[in-house]
Chains A and B, each alone.
Chain A
Amino acid sequence: MTSSSPAAAIATATQPQRRSRRGRFEPYLLIAPTVLLVLGLMVVPIVIVIGYSLFDNVVTNQNPQFVGVANYVAILGNPAFWNAVGNTLIFTVISVVIHLLIGIGFALMLNSKLVHGLPRTIFRAIYILPWIFTASVVAVLWRLLLDPSGVINYVLTTIGVLHQAVPWLATPATALISVTVINIWSGYPFFMISLLAGLQGVPSDLYEAARVDGAGLVRQFFSVTLPALRPIVYSMALLDLLWTTQQFTLIWATTGGGPINHTEVVSTFTYKLAFNSYQFSMASTSAVVILVASLFVAIFYVRQQKKASQS
């Protein structure tokens, strides 16, 4: 075992006898429930899905036939799939970046020493509101808000920003941006809360030291806050990336992938394959392609984390 973790090293140094047997098995014991659950309820279904993807059509076809990688060839050669991938990338990257920016901004504001007591509690409560509603209700609500006769258009036309009400979700040019905004709204509190928690872990003496060195607020942010939050920011950006690529309900219930496929993302594309045209094998194939792409992201992340903990 090439241990570089100081804790493990210390432990080995101080208690050589006790660690020898129990210690060696301990990590496996502690990780066992996780491995068992993830293996049984995530990996197994995924393996079944991979199996599906190698057949001509499962579920609706009572006698599916093995077709090898034919589904993969078909899906990778399908321009509709790549259109969905493109939209997913736009949707995801914008969502994650803005989630991060809003999350940090709001977390810093809510953590500021200049606001305290009741106002802080009230603001904190308001700021997590978007998080506590189920996605289908968020979709219903935003359809109502963004409707041509809805309140957003009413306000914008009344104050003169717009001449005419815009059907935001139905116009090809604005549909993707609109669903992205909805997703940003419903997802940022997650970043905010995690960062707010992370900010509590930044030792206050670091700020004092920086202040003594004459650092302004901006310098303090970049030289103290950001480095301290880095592991959390990395982890959240990764998770948000993986989750946003799968955002389904919000898009499905607001635009259904339209108009003219302008908001068609991989998740709606896959859903349509599964439950509109009942091509479960093809839907599984699409899922596996996403899985493989995500595994690369995961490997990159784990390597990065390893490097960070070793340095």
Chain B
Amino acid sequence: MKARTSRSIGRVLLYIGLSVGAVFAGFPVLWMLSSSFKSNASIFAFPPKLIDGTFSLGAYLSVLTDSVKIGYFVNSYIVAISVVIVTMVIALLAAYVFSRFEFRFKSVIRVVIIGVQAVPPITLLIPFFGIMVGLGLYNTYQGLILTYVVFTLPYAIIMMTAYLDSLPRELDEAARVDGAGSMAVLWRVLVPVSVPGMVSVGLYTFMISWNEYLFALTLTQTDNRRTVPVGIQLLMGQNNYQWNQVMAMSILGSIPVLVLFLIFQRYFIGGLAAGAVKS
């Protein structure tokens, strides 16, 4: 009896906490949504209203009927999905090595991988750009994909190493005893139990490739290679600002990401890894 009351009190408190957090997280986005339906002038009107007389779907229509802007979305998907796949494979191999092997230069390589992230990208812009041009990767998907793989790799490796470190070594030992090689241990034993970690790293990788602007702009030249963030920025010009379309395009860009997350979030269910370890 007592347990049940304390449980329902706990649930009420939890819902209150979750709601407060949801306001912090969601209100600005709600405002973005509301702005995407307003006219460019009334976005800045006072007093601010969630919905006003200028409500229209015009901004969405002008984004969705523009084949160039649709092209930006397609490019963003091609780049982001490729980056997730390439980064995950390379990072898993590296993380496996860092977590399960001892070899020379291990510490040096780790320090370098972590350290290189600390250089402000803006200062790397000119030399990096020069290298990409030299490689003939200017204005190509491959150039952008390679760039984001390099950007996301350090994080993916560090986090995957941390996840693999947290998995009991008895797992690989058992498989080794059964005669499995390193690759079998990685792909058949470790990967299946680190799905939550992989999902979170994959989401991060996708997000970085999806939202990056500076290099996306620098490394591409024509509309058929440009990504959504560049398209959004093109709506904020010198004299001409399409505020509602900026908001609409951001909202449109976020929906697929949200759907993707909702599909994968079911992997965040307590005890999955624990159960796998036991079996």
Contact = CB atoms under 8 A, between A and B. Distances in A.
Interface of A: 1-8, 10-11, 14-15, 18, 23, 26-28, 30-31, 33-35, 37-38, 40-46, 48-49, 52, 59, 102, 105-106, 109-115, 119, 121, 123-137, 140-142, 144-145, 147, 149-151, 154, 185, 189-190, 193-194, 196-205, 228, 231-232, 234-236, 238-239, 242-243, 245-246, 248-249, 266-267, 270-271, 274-275, 280, 283-284, 286-287, 290-291, 293-295, 297-299, 301-302, 305-306, 309
Given A133-B211, A141-B31, A147-B44, 17 more contacts: A1-B103, A2-B102, A10-B172, A33-B90, A34-B157, A44-B127, A44-B131, A113-B270, A132-B211, A193-B204, A199-B268, A200-B196, A204-B271, A234-B162, A239-B155, A291-B118, A302-B111
Contacts of A189: 25
Nearest to A59: B126
B133 interface: no
Interface in B206-236: 207, 210-214, 228-229, 232-233, 236
A227 B29 CA distance: 34
Contact of B25 (A126, A232, A248, A266): A126
A197 B162 CA distance: 12
29 contacts: A1-B102, A8-B101, A10-B173, A14-B177, A45-B131, A105-B17, A110-B18, A126-B25, A128-B261, A129-B254, A132-B253, A133-B29, A133-B254, A136-B232, A137-B32, A137-B232, A137-B246, A151-B31, A194-B159, A203-B273, A231-B166, A238-B114, A238-B158, A248-B120, A270-B122, A287-B124, A291-B115, A301-B114, A302-B110
A17 to B, nearest CB: 13
Nearest 8 interchain pairs by C-beta: A294-B118, A203-B274, A197-B200, A48-B127, A298-B114, A287-B123, A197-B196, A45-B127
A interface, by DSSP: helix, strand, loop or mixed?
A: helix
B163 A201 contact: yes
Contacts of B199: 197
Contacts of A4: 102
B15 interface: yes
B262 interface: yes
| Residue of B28, B172, B247, B262 with highest tally of chain A CB at under 10 A | B28
B14 A114 contact: yes
Nearest to B241: A140
B115 A28 contact: no
Contacts of B124: 42, 45-46, 49, 287
Interface in B157-184: 157-159, 161-163, 165-167, 169, 172-173, 176-177, 181-182
A28 B103 contact: yes
A228 to B, nearest CB: 7
B48 A151 contact: yes
B60 interface: no
A286 B197 CA distance: 35
B188 interface: no
A49 B123 contact: yes
Nearest to A49: B123
B14 A112 contact: yes
A179 to B, nearest CB: 14
Given A129-B25, A134-B229, A200-B196, A31 B119 contact: no
A125 B262 contact: yes
B120 A34 contact: no
